[in-house]
């Protein structure tokens, strides 16, 4: 994916990644604390964190021996502006929006 907006929406498509972002709304967290509530291995959560970091939704910083994750809310700005465009047409019909996305994604992926 070359479009940053595509990458952000792809990252947000996963429920585990959305849950991680929700957790980081509260405060910065150590990677092990991020992983604690999930029934996934630390390696699997680390892969989710790599995806979120690659698209700029979070940043990671090593403090001593601990790697910390921080939400980068500005990375959602472009996606938010795009979504707000739908709100100007009245109420957003999420079912219609989902059908639109399925159609668009289906055309983009011929497989």
16-44 pLDDT tens trace:
999 999 999 999 999 999 999 999 999 99
65-106 pLDDT tens trace:
999 999 998 888 888 888 887 766 555 677 777 787 778 777
Phi, psi at 19, each rounded to 5°: -65, -40
37-65 pLDDT tens trace:
999 999 999 999 999 999 999 999 999 99
The predicted pLDDT at position 109 comes to 54
The predicted pLDDT at position 91 comes to 59
Phi, psi at 26, each rounded to 5°: -70, -50
The predicted pLDDT at position 53 comes to 97
Q: How far is CA 111 from the centre of its chain?
A: 24
Answer whether residue 111 shows pLDDT above 60. Answer: no
The predicted pLDDT at position 88 comes to 61
DSSP summary character for residue 55: T
The predicted pLDDT at position 90 comes to 58
Q: Which domains does the chain have, with CATH numbers?
A: 4-108 (1.10.10.10)
pTM: 0.74
- Give dist(CA 96, CA 44) in Å, integer: 33
């Amino acid at each position: 994916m070359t479009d940053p907006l595509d990458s952000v929406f792809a990252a947000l498509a996963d429920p585990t990644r959305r849950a991680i972002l929700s957790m980081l709304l509260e405060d910065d967290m150590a990677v092990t604390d991020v992983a604690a509530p999930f029934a996934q291995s630390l390696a699997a959560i680390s892969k989710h964190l790599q995806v979120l970091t690659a698209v700029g939704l979070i940043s990671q910083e090593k403090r001593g021996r601990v790697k910390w994750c921080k939400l980068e809310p500005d990375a959602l700005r472009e996606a938010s502006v795009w979504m707000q465009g739908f709100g100007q047409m009245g109420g957003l019909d999420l079912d219609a929006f989902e059908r639109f996305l399925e159609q668009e994604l289906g055309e983009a992926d011929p497989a």
